[in-house]
Structure 1
Amino acid sequence: MKISHWRESAIGLVVPVVIILLWQMAAMLGWVNPQVLPSPWAVAVKWVEYALPLTAFDPAAGSRLAWMFSGELLIDTLGSMYRVVVGFAIGAGLALPIGLWMGSSKKAYAWLNPMMQVLRPIPPIAYIPLAILWFGLGNAPALFLISLGAFFPVLMNTIAGVRQVDSIYIRAARNLGVNRRTMFIRIMLPAAVPYILSGVRIGIGTAFIVVIVSEMIAVNNGLGFRILEAREYFWSDKIIAGMISIGMLGLAIDIGMNRLNNYLLRWHRGLES
Structure 2
Amino acid sequence: MRNLLSGLIVPVFLLSLWHVVTAQGWVNPQMLPSPWAVAHKWWEYICPQQAFEGGGVAAWLAWLISGEMVRDAAGSLYRVITGFLIGAGLGLPLGLWMGASPLVYRLWNPVLQVLRPIPPIAYIPLSILWFGLGNPPAVFLIALGAFFPVLMNTIAGVRQVDAIYLRAAQNLGAGKATLFLRVMLPAAVPYILAGVRIGIGTAFIVVIVAEMVAVNNGLGFRITEAREYFWSDKIIAGMLTIGLLGLLIDSGMNRLNNHLLRWHRGLEHS
Task: Show the counterpart of 2:259.
Answer: 263
Residue 28 (structure 1) shift: 1.2
Question: Equivalent residue for 2:20?
Answer: 25
Deviation at 1:55, TM superposition (A): 3.8
Normalised TM-score (structure 1): 0.92
* Residue 73 of structure 2 corresponds to residue 77 of structure 1: yes
Q: Indicate which of 208, 214, 217 corresponds to 1:218.
A: 214
Normalization by structure 2: what TM-score? 0.93
Q: How many residues align?
A: 255
Cα separation, 2, equivalents of 1:55 and 1:41: 23
Question: Residues of 2 paired with 1:217 and 1:72: CA distance?
Answer: 19
Q: How many Å separate the matches in 2 of 1:247 and 1:218? A: 21
Decide which of 145, 151, 155 is 1:155's aligned counterpart. 151
Residue identity in the other structure for 1:26: V
- Please, which of 227, 247, 259 is the counterpart of residue 243 of structure 2? 247
CA positional deviation for 1:131:
0.3
Supply the distance in 2 between the matched residues of 1:145 and 1:22 (Cα, whole angstroms): 37
Amino acid at match of 1:255: S
Match of 2:125 in 1: 129
What's 2:31 paired with? Answer: 36
Gaps of 5+ in 1: 1-5, 57-69
1:146 matches 2:142: yes
Q: CA deviation at 1:270?
A: 1.6
Q: Structure 1 residue runs of 4+, over 2 Å off?
A: none
AA in 2 matched with 1:104: A
Moved more, 18-27 or 185-194: 18-27
Identity over aligned pairs, percent: 73
State the shift of 1:272 in Å: 2.4
Distance (Å, rounded) in 2 between the aligned partners of 1:78 and 1:37:
27
The one of 43, 46, 69 equivalent to 2:41 is 46
Residue 120 of structure 1: aligned partner: 116
1:171 aligns with 2:167: yes
Question: Which amino acid in 2 is paired with 1:83?
Answer: R
